[in-house]
Amino acid sequence: MNGADWAAWEAVKAVTQSVARSRSTAFEVVRAFLLSDQLSLDTVKGNPGSFRPWDHQLRAPVLLSTADAVIERAPLPQFLHQTNVLDTLGVDAPETSCRL
């Protein structure tokens, strides 16, 4: 599976999980569930994924690896965010001009 395959799989999983858990196919209901703190996606082993409310980016851990082994999973314990561990990676809400 390459990056595009994984992104497509994760997108379909996010929408189907939102439809199933919200018990609705209405756009606004599904959208609200996708952006809520109730969404919990299987991303990379460990932290559940979700979407950032300010820029709608997927929060997911990053595997730091060599060609044949996973060395560590970021975010690292010594660099944790105050509200969501996965917001440690990337630009934080106060630092971005992106608003959706």
Query: What span, in angstroms and rounded, lies between the C-alpha atoms of 52 and 20?
Result: 21
Q: What is the pLDDT of residue 81?
A: 57
21 CB-near residues (< 8 Å, 6+ apart): 33, 38, 39
Q: What is the pLDDT of residue 85?
A: 59
Whether the model clears a pTM of 0.75, i.e. scores above it, the answer is no
Rg value, the chain, Cα: 15
pLDDT tens-digit profile, the chain (100 residues): 788 898 898 899 999 999 999 999 999 999 999 988 888 888 776 667 888 777 787 877 777 788 888 777 776 666 655 566 566 666 666 666 766 6
Place of tokens 């606004």: 28
